Structure 1
């Protein structure tokens, strides 16, 4: 009986981890695991993060985003200004030809203002991305714990830390 329980538990873990991984494709673009950090029920803002890979020979631009969870959705980045990190809206985010652009905390990201709904941990919500060349791409954003760090970012941070 113990072996049977271990097999069932292992299968459940495997399928739950596969269900958490999600990616979306449109032409030459791949959007990998869109996610948002869980926010408190009283929050009026949230953000979304993901990696966009462009397998084409021409640069594309993310030019707009929208979601029914927010009254307003903007493309943002963080900049150093007067010795402080500040968020600023940007008109577009370049996706280089045969390259990728990471939307992550402390860098480019999607901001949601005037939240109409507060998505709960583990839920998914729709996000529509508009690209200059690829056009409209519908994705689902998974709400992760506030402490969540994607595996790809962990590797990038570890690699980066070796340069100091």
Structure 2
């Protein structure tokens, strides 16, 4: 290849590598990110605040926040995990819990899965994780690439500090606002 034909090829390869690097990556700050499939101004998702209380039976719940910094909404459609073949998403309202087909993740907004509200449910666990371990789940969306998340297993009664503060103000199970990558 001549120098003249190599430069455009190298530039194209670098551009492709940069585009791939931005699509789905984990970071050291506790925030996991995923981009939209082929959409320039689509959803830009990140996950923070993930945890699982140590299960006391063959069922467990997972909690996290999906933040969308993008200009288009998305929808969480399913979750899977090597810990269970039966992973579903549930909505809780009052004293009623029901399985749902998905949750909206609004543009420039968030989906909060937290205690007393909507959550990930893992039934018939293959083993019971204990405090200090991590459980992998994969979140699947309508538009964005899947996001793999590590849920740190916490004590059974764990409630994140942010939720404790929120509960004293409004007691709601979902909300908007900024989230941090700290658990």
TM range, normalised to the smaller chain? 0.7 to 0.9
Measured in 1, the distance between the counterparts of 2:86 and 2:100 equals: 14
Distance 1:135 1:36 in 2: 23
For structure 2, the 5+ residue unaligned runs are 1-28, 36-43, 172-183
TM-score of the aligned structures, taking structure 1 as reference length: 0.78
Larger radius of gyration: 2
Q: 1:147, 1:132 → 2: CA distance?
A: 33
Q: Is residue 54–residue 99 contact of structure 1 (8 Å, CA) maintained in 2?
A: yes
SS in 2 for 1:154: helix
Q: RMSD of the TM alignment (CA)?
A: 1.4
1:23-51 Cα shifts (integer Å, max 9, x gaps): 211121110031111122xx110010011
Q: Report the counterpart of residue 129 of structure 1 in structure 2.
A: 139
Aligned twin of 1:119: 129
Unaligned runs of 5+ in 1: 1-20
**Cα deviation, residue 159, structure 1:** 2.1
Aligned to 1:39: 55
Matched, 1:26 2:34: yes
Give the alignment partner of residue 90 of structure 1, picking from 61, 81, 100: 100
> Take 2:134 and 2:97, find their aligned partners in 1: how far apart are those partners?
25
Q: State the SS of the aligned residue for 2:146.
A: strand
Moved over 2 A (4+): none
Alpha-carbon distance between aligned partners in 2 of 1:73 and 1:127, rounded to the nearest angstrom: 9
- Alignment length (residue pairs): 135
Q: Tell me, yes or no, if the aligned pair for 2:115 and 2:159 is still in contact at 8 Å.
A: no
TM-score (norm 2): 0.70
